Structure 1
Amino acid sequence: MIRFRLQFVLGLVLVALSACGGAREKGKAVKVRLDPARLASAHEGERHALLIGIDQYDDDSWNDLRYPGKDAEDLGRVLADPRRGGFASVTVLNRPEQTTRAGVLEALRTLQARAWNPRDVVVVYVSGHGTLARDTRGELQRYLVMRDTRFRDVQGTGLEMVVLEQAMERLGSLRRVLVLATCHSGTGKSLLPESVRSELERTKAAFLPRPLEEDSRASLVLSASDWGEAAREDDALGNDIYTHFFIQALDGRADRNRDGAVSATEAHDWARRHTWTYTQGRQRPSVRMTEVGADPVLLSGSLSQPGQPEVFSYSPRLEGFTLKVDGVDAGELPGGVALPEGNRRLGLHKGGALLWEDTVVLRPGERRALDSMLREQAEGPRRTVSLDMGVLGFLDARSRREVLPRTLMAGAGLRWQGLLLEERLDVGVDLAVGQGRQALQLELGGTVPVRHRAVMLGLTVGPSWEWGRLGVSTGPRVAALWMERSFQLDLLKQDERYFTVWPGWMAGVSWKLGARWVLEAKGQLLWAYVPVDGRTRAVGFGGLWLSGGYRF
C-alpha cells in the first residue's frame, strides 16, 4: 500500500513537470493577440441613440405633421450604419403607442437604467411640435408636445424640457447630445395658446424668456431653430429641413478637420449653414455647449489621424462676429473653422470694428474655444518676468560718503498677479547684485579707496490696479541684504561683510507696451540697524529701478 501511494505521488509529480516543460519552469506567459482597432473602440466607448418622431396627435388642435416619424427612421438608419455612425443601439419611437407621454418617459427610464461608460456617446433626438405654457409656478416654459398632449392642458400632459434635461443628466455618460427638431414660435412645427400668443406680442423682445436648454448641463443641445423662430418641414426634401442636412453631414462631408470622424458640432455647423441658405435666412439653427472641451463628441466615423486645429464659438454674445485668420475672412459665428497648424493671427470683427486680436499657436488635433481666448485676454496674463536695472544706497549723505557709496544693481524678478486672498494681492520676488569701486571720506580728513559689493533678495506682497495701459502697484517688502566693502591700501587690506534682513515698502508705476510687454519704474525704502565702525546706527536704504517685463 505504501509503495502504491509512492508511485501515485511520483506520477503526479511527473505529470506536473511535463506540463511545465523541459525548462523546469512553473509556468510561462501566454501571448494574447489583441486587435488594436477593437481595443481602441473599447477605450472610446459605445454609441447609443434614442430617436423620437411624433407626427400624429389625439387633440385636433395640434395639426398632424408629415415627416417626424420618417425623420427618426432616416436618422436611425445612418446612425446604425457600420460605415457611418456605427451605433451599438438605436431605438426609434414613432408609432402612436410609443409616442405618448407615458411611452416616452418609460423609454427615458430604460435609457437611464443602462450601465453607462463615461466615454459612451448618447444621442436623444426629438422631432415634433413644441410649444410654450406656464408651469405650476406660473413661469413660461418650453414643452414638447406628445401624441396625447391636450392643447388646453399643456402643463399637465406635455413633456416639459426640464424633465428631458434631468433625464439626460442622470445618464452615466459624459458625452450627451440632445437634438431638438421642434420650435415654439407659433408657426411651422408649433402652435401657441391664444393667451400666450397675445402675451408674447405685447412683450418686448429683450424680456422674452430664453429656452430652458440654454442652461442645460447636458453636453450639447442642438436646436433646429433659434428662439422665436419656426422649424420647418419641406416636401421637396421629404424631411424636417434641419434634420435632412444633419443626416447629410454624417456621410463624412462635414469632416472639416479631416480627422476621419464627424463630431456633433461639425454635423450641426453643416446643417446650420445649409438650413440657413435653404430657408433664405428664415431659420437659424442654434447650439448650446456647456461640458464639451477639447474632447469632441463623435457621431460618425472614427479618428484615423490627428485633425487640423479648430477654433470655435457658440456663445450668443459673439453671434454675428466675423472670424479673420491672418487677415482673411474665415467665417461668421456661431460655428467652428479648421485651420492650418502653426502661428495664426486671429481676429474678431463686427461692423468694421475690431473686438479682439491675438496670435496663437495651433497644433494638430487641438480645439480652441474663442470664448476662452477672449476671457484669458480680458483677465490678462497672471505672471510677469522682468529684467531690472537700478541704484541702491543709503538715504542720508553722510552714510554714502563715509560708509558705502551708491551701488549700481542688476537683476531679475518674477511677479504673480492675484496669487493671495482670493486674487486680491500680488506676490513678487526679485534678486539683484551690484558692485563698484569708489573713494570714502575719512573722519580725520582725506579719502580711502574702497571696493564694494551687494546682493539683495526681496519679497513684496501687495495689491495692483490697472487703468488701460497704466498700472500701479504697491505693498510691504522684506529684503535680505548682503554687503561687503574692501579697503584698498598699501599698508592695509581689510574686508568687512554684513548680512541683514530689512523691512520696507515698495511702489511702482507700469505702462503696457503691448499685450505682453510692460515697462515699469519702481521705488523702494528699507529700514534697519547697521553696525558702522563699532557703533550700531539706524539707517534708511532706498532704491530706484527701471524694469522691462514680459507677461505670460
Structure 2
Amino acid sequence: MRRILFTLLAVLAACASPGSLEKGGKGGLVSVKVDETALSDAYAPRRLALLVGVSQFQDSQWRNLRYSSKDAEDLAAALRDPGRGHFDRVRVLSRPEETTRASILAALRQLRQEATRPDDVVVVYFSAHGTLARDGKGELKRYLVTTDAAFRDIPQTALSMDALKSEFDQLPSRRRLMVLATCHSGSGKSLLPRELEAELAGIKSGFYARPIEESSRASMVFAACDWGETAREDEGLRNDIYTHFLINGLNGAADRNVDGAVTATEAHDYARRHTYAFTEGRQRPSAEILEVGADPVVLSGRIDRMGRPELFSYNPRLDGFTLKVDGETRTELPGGAAVTPGRRTVELTKGDNVLIREVVDITAGERLPLERLLSQAFPRRSLSVMGGMFSFVDARSRDELLPAAPELAVVLRLEERPLPDLSLVFDVSGSRGRRSLNLVPGGSVPFTYTSLSLGAAVPYTWRWERLSLYAGPRVAALLLQRSFQTEAFTGAQQYFTFSPGVVGGVVWRLNDRLELAAQTQLMLTYVVVDGQGQAVGFSGGWAGVGYRF
C-alpha cells in the first residue's frame, strides 16, 4: 500500500509543479514518466502469512505443548527466506498475550484488511491443542484451545473452528491456505472433558463421522491428521510431525512436477506421505480443497520452467482409490502424481475393482483432475420412462375438478448442467381416462378427461457412489380437458395454467447404463371453476427405469 501511495504522490507532485502550470496552463494534461518496474512492484500480488503457535495455557488442566511456538517460528523462517517462501510479510503469534482468543481473532481481522486483492497469497497456520465440546444447542463442535481457554467452559472461552473458518472465508484473497496442526481425538495434541471422552468411547465406530469442511472457492484447509486421529509432537524431530515434513518439503523436495516451485498441494502431499510413514500409519494428514485448477498457492520457490503433467484428486468421492499409470501404482488418493508427457493409460482402482480405465493424452504443464475422467467415464444424461399418480392436494379439488389419476411420464435429466452440482430436468407427462365428480352428497357426475403437463427444473444434486438425490425449483405448464355427457350438461371444459413448485428425486445406478429412478413434485396453480378462480396445489409421483447415454 505504501508503494502505491508513493507512486500516486509522485504523479500528483509532477502535475502540480510550476513548470507544468506554465507549459500546460490551468487544467492542462502533463506527461509523466513512471518507472515501470516500480509500478509493477506496487501492483504485484502480496504474500502474507499469519502463524500461531499456542504452547502455554492459563488453565492447568491443559498440558503445555513443547514445540507449538517452535513450529510457528520454524515455518516462519522458511516462508521469510528469499530463496524459499519469499513472503512479503510473516507475522508470528506465540507469546501468551498474543495467543488469547481475542488476540487471534483481532489478528485475523487485521489480515483481512491487509490481504485485499484476489490474487494475494495468504497462509494461516495454527499449532495448538484441539478439543471437542457441546455448544449451547447441544451440538458437538470442534475448538482450538487458546491460551485463555477454560477447560470447564470451552464453548465460551476457546476459539470454535466454525468461527475460525468464518474469519478465514472472509479473506478477500482467492489464494488462501489454512493449516491446522492440531487434533480432536482426546490424545496427542488434544484433550477432552472426561464425560465427553466416555461418550466417544461408547460409539462402536470409534468416533463420530468425519465432518465436511465448508471450504470457500479456491481455498484449502490442511489438517495434520484425519478426523478422530491423533496429531503428535516428536522429541527427536523437535516439531509437530506434520509441520516438520511440511517445512522439509519447502526446501524443494516436494516439487514433484519439477517446475521450480513448491505449491500448497505438493507440500501437503509430501508431508502427508512422510507423516504416514513416520507414524506407521497412525496419523494420516487430510485436506479439504474445493477447487484446485492450476494450484494458485505457491509456498516456496518460483515457477521458472514448464513442469511435468500432473494427475490429482482431492474429491472425497475418490478417497482411498489407488492411481495407476501405465499399470504402475503411483499414489493413493487424495493426492497427486507427476507423469511423463504423452499418451498414458490411467486407472483408478480399489482392491480388485477398477473404477475407470482411460487412455489420455497429457502435455507438459497440464494438471488433470481425475474427477474429469470420472465424469467422462460415466454418461451424465439419462432418459427415464415412469409411471405413477397425480392428484390435487385438497379434497374439494379432488371432488370437483379431478380425482387422483394414473399417468405416464418421460423424464430427461442432464447432470452437471449448468454447474457441476446442478442438473437440468425436463419432463412430460400425460393421462387419459374416465372419472366421476362428487358434486352432491350421494350423487356423482361421470366425465372423461385428458391431462398433459410439461415441466422443467434446476435441482441441486447430491451423489454417493451409485446413489444420487436431487431437489430444487420446478415450473410446469398444465393442460386439463374434461368432457361431460349428462342430462344436465353436455360439453367440454379446458384449463391451462403455468405453475411454480418444487421437485425431488432419487436415482440408483444399476450399472454404467441402467438406473432406477423416482421423482415427485408439488406445484401451486390457479384454476377457474364455475366462474370462480382459486389457487390449488397438485402433486405427482412417478417411478421407473432410465437409460444413461
Which category of TM-score, normalised to the shorter sequence, fits these structures?
0.5 to 0.7
- What residue in structure 1 maps to residue 214 of structure 2? 215
1:366 aligns with 2:366: yes
AA paired with 1:180?
L
Deviations for 1:101-148, whole angstroms, at most 9, x for unmatched residues?
Answer: 111111112112225110011111000100011112211011000011
State the shift of 1:162 in Å: 0.9
State the shift of 1:254 in Å: 0.7
CA distance in 2 between partners of 1:205 and 1:373 (Å): 33
Structure-2 change in CA distance of 1:95 and 1:33 (3 Å):
closer
- What residue in structure 2 maps to residue 108 of structure 1? 108
1:132 aligns with 2:132: yes
CA distance in 1 between partners of 2:296 and 2:357 (Å): 26
Q: How does 1:53-64 map to 2 (within 5 A)?
A: 53-64=53-64
Equivalent position to 1:422, from 418, 421, 424: 424
**Aligned sequence identity (%):** 52
State the shift of 1:28 in Å: 12
CA distance in 1 between partners of 2:427 and 2:365 (Å): 37
State whether residues 207 and 228 of structure 2, in contact with CA within 8 Å, keep that contact through their aligned partners in structure 1.
no
- What residue in structure 2 maps to residue 299 of structure 1? 299
CA distance in 2 between partners of 1:417 and 1:137 (Å): 40
CA distance in 2 between partners of 1:115 and 1:188 (Å): 34
State the shift of 1:152 in Å: 0.6
State whether residues 142 and 161 of structure 1, in contact with CA within 8 Å, keep that contact through their aligned partners in structure 2.
yes
Deviations for 1:339-385, whole angstroms, at most 9, x for unmatched residues?
Answer: 12222211011212211111222122221211232133223489xxx
State the shift of 1:422 in Å: 2.5
State whether residues 242 and 285 of structure 1, in contact with CA within 8 Å, keep that contact through their aligned partners in structure 2.
yes
AA paired with 1:216?
S
- What residue in structure 1 maps to residue 121 of structure 2? 121
- What residue in structure 2 maps to residue 356 of structure 1? 356
State whether residues 48 and 115 of structure 2, in contact with CA within 8 Å, keep that contact through their aligned partners in structure 1.
no
- What residue in structure 1 maps to residue 287 of structure 2? 287
Structure-2 change in CA distance of 1:153 and 1:324 (3 Å):
same
Deviations for 1:473-529, whole angstroms, at most 9, x for unmatched residues?
Answer: xxxxxxxxxxxxxxxxxxxxxxxxxxxxxxxxxxxxxxxxxx99xxxxxxxxxxxxx
1:261 aligns with 2:298: no
Q: How does 1:501-520 map to 2 (within 5 A)?
A: none
State the shift of 1:293 in Å: 2.2
Structure-2 change in CA distance of 1:200 and 1:65 (3 Å):
same
State whether residues 380 and 414 of structure 2, in contact with CA within 8 Å, keep that contact through their aligned partners in structure 1.
no
State the shift of 1:153 in Å: 0.5
- What residue in structure 1 maps to residue 3 of structure 2? none
State whether residues 120 and 174 of structure 1, in contact with CA within 8 Å, keep that contact through their aligned partners in structure 2.
yes
RMSD: 3.4
CA distance in 2 between partners of 1:66 and 1:422 (Å): 55
State the shift of 1:295 in Å: 3.9
CA distance in 2 between partners of 1:48 and 1:186 (Å): 33
CA distance in 1 between partners of 2:322 and 2:115 (Å): 43
CA distance in 1 between partners of 2:309 and 2:33 (Å): 39
Q: How does 1:214-363 map to 2 (within 5 A)?
A: 214-217=213-216, 219-363=219-363
State the shift of 1:192 in Å: 0.7
State the shift of 1:27 in Å: 12
Structure-2 change in CA distance of 1:30 and 1:42 (3 Å):
closer
State the shift of 1:417 in Å: 7.0
Deviations for 1:442-475, whole angstroms, at most 9, x for unmatched residues?
Answer: xxxxxxxxxxxxxxxxxxx999xxxx9xxxxxxx
State whether residues 294 and 368 of structure 1, in contact with CA within 8 Å, keep that contact through their aligned partners in structure 2.
no
Structure 1: segments with no counterpart, 5+ residues: 1-14, 21-25, 383-415, 427-460, 469-514, 517-550
Q: How does 1:146-165 map to 2 (within 5 A)?
A: 146-165=146-165
Residue 251 of structure 2 aligns to a residue whose secondary structure is coil
State the shift of 1:94 in Å: 0.2
- What residue in structure 1 maps to residue 68 of structure 2? 68
CA distance in 2 between partners of 1:343 and 1:43 (Å): 40
Residue 152 of structure 2 aligns to a residue whose secondary structure is helix
Residue 151 of structure 1 aligns to a residue whose secondary structure is coil
- What residue in structure 2 maps to residue 168 of structure 1? 168
AA paired with 1:220?
M
CA distance in 2 between partners of 1:275 and 1:85 (Å): 22
State the shift of 1:253 in Å: 1.3
AA paired with 2:98?
Q
- What residue in structure 2 maps to residue 94 of structure 1? 94
Deviations for 1:172-223, whole angstroms, at most 9, x for unmatched residues?
Answer: 10111010000011111100111111111122428714346x2232610000
Structure-2 change in CA distance of 1:279 and 1:343 (3 Å):
same
Residue 311 of structure 2 aligns to a residue whose secondary structure is strand
Structure 2: segments with no counterpart, 5+ residues: 1-18, 383-412, 429-453, 457-465, 467-511, 514-547
- What residue in structure 2 maps to residue 436 of structure 1? none
Structure-2 change in CA distance of 1:68 and 1:373 (3 Å):
same
State whether residues 142 and 211 of structure 1, in contact with CA within 8 Å, keep that contact through their aligned partners in structure 2.
no
CA distance in 2 between partners of 1:144 and 1:211 (Å): 16
Structure-2 change in CA distance of 1:143 and 1:369 (3 Å):
same
CA distance in 2 between partners of 1:57 and 1:30 (Å): 57
State the shift of 1:247 in Å: 0.5
State whether residues 131 and 145 of structure 2, in contact with CA within 8 Å, keep that contact through their aligned partners in structure 1.
yes
Structure-2 change in CA distance of 1:128 and 1:295 (3 Å):
closer
State whether residues 309 and 340 of structure 2, in contact with CA within 8 Å, keep that contact through their aligned partners in structure 1.
yes
Structure-2 change in CA distance of 1:244 and 1:424 (3 Å):
same
AA paired with 2:147?
R
Residue 216 of structure 1 aligns to a residue whose secondary structure is coil
CA distance in 2 between partners of 1:250 and 1:98 (Å): 27
Structure-2 change in CA distance of 1:42 and 1:31 (3 Å):
closer
State the shift of 1:33 in Å: 6.7
State whether residues 345 and 359 of structure 1, in contact with CA within 8 Å, keep that contact through their aligned partners in structure 2.
yes
TM-score (norm 2): 0.63
TM-score (norm 1): 0.63
CA distance in 2 between partners of 1:236 and 1:306 (Å): 38
State whether residues 182 and 189 of structure 1, in contact with CA within 8 Å, keep that contact through their aligned partners in structure 2.
yes
Point out the more displaced range, 70-79 or 104-113.
104-113
Equivalenced residue count is 379
AA paired with 2:221?
V
CA distance in 1 between partners of 2:325 and 2:337 (Å): 10
State the shift of 1:95 in Å: 0.4
